[in-house]
């Protein structure tokens, strides 16, 4: 499925002693048990990528050390997410709307590892203690599949184009209603209903879920939940 989606596959062979391997293996067996396999997912601090790092840290402790000095950028979590969602503009828009101020935190090199690419590079720059000596954590890297270059294609359904067309439609309706001295109530219902529903959703995500990244969402300044009242009125 990765090859079908043109996603690279890299295998890292870790430089662990037999005792260290056994610790990791025993933990994975314990973690796979039905009573242990579930956990409170967090988009950026406890996800499928960070789990790989955390399993190693939890079981090897001070024997493993990550060196983040190779990262010279100062991106926020939102900026890092945007880079990877460029081919998926609607998903990018949805995340930007639904997640709030915590996404704009400047990420530390350690926190970069919420992304699989940085888990790989983080392991590449880590060391592990073996027989009282420090050695690279990654002993070998095997390139199973390399992604192939793809040309980006223009889409008429890109959010920017869609909302520009919506703006033109809104302006045209406003001009028509002004000259005809009547209101297009159907359009108001759609517009206020949509933004009101988004506002209600943002409130629910902020106050009634465990998704910490959805807190302090300033999109509520335009997606007012009270807009749903205007629809009924």
Predicted confidence (pLDDT) per residue in 22-76, tens digit: 999 999 999 999 999 999 999 999 999 999 999 999 999 999 999 999 999 999 9
Residue 14 · residue 145 · CB < 8 Å: no
What mean pLDDT do residues 16-21 have? 94
Rounded CA separation 114/51 (Å): 9
Q: Please name which of 84, 132, 75 lies closest in space to residue 107, comparing C-alpha atoms.
A: 75
What mean pLDDT do residues 131-152 have? 91
Question: Rounded to two decimals, what is the model's pTM?
Answer: 0.87
Lookup: tokens for 98:
């639904």
Rounded CA separation 36/42 (Å): 17
Q: Quickly list DSSP for 124-191.
A: HTEEEEETTEEEESEEEEEEEE-PPP------TT-HHHHHHHHHHHHHHHHHHHHHHT---HHHHHHH
């Amino acid at each position: 499925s990765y090859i079908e989606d043109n996603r690279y596959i890299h295998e890292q062979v870790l430089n662990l002693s037999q005792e260290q391997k056994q610790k990791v293996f025993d933990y994975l067996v314990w973690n796979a048990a039905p009573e242990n396999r579930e956990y409170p997912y967090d988009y950026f601090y406890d996800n499928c990528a960070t789990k790989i790092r955390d399993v190693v840290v939890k079981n090897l402790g001070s024997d493993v050390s990550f060196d983040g000095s190779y990262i010279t950028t100062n991106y926020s979590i939102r900026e890092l997410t945007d880079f990877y969602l460029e081919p998926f503009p609607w998903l990018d828009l949805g995340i930007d709307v639904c997640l709030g101020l915590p996404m704009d935190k400047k990420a530390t090199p350690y926190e970069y590892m919420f992304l699989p690419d940085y888990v790989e590079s983080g392991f590449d720059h880590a060391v592990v203690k073996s027989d009282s000596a420090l050695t690279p954590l990654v002993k070998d890297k095997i390139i199973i599949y390399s992604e192939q270059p793809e040309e980006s294609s223009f889409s008429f359904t890109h959010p920017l184009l869609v909302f520009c067309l919506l703006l033109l439609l809104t302006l045209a309706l406003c001009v028509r209603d002004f000259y005809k001295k009547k209101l297009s109530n159907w359009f108001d219902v759609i517009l206020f209903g949509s933004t009101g529903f988004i506002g209600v959703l943002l409130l629910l995500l902020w106050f009634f879920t465990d998704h910490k990244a959805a807190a302090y969402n300033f999109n509520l300044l335009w997606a007012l939940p009270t807009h749903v009242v205007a629809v009924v009125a």
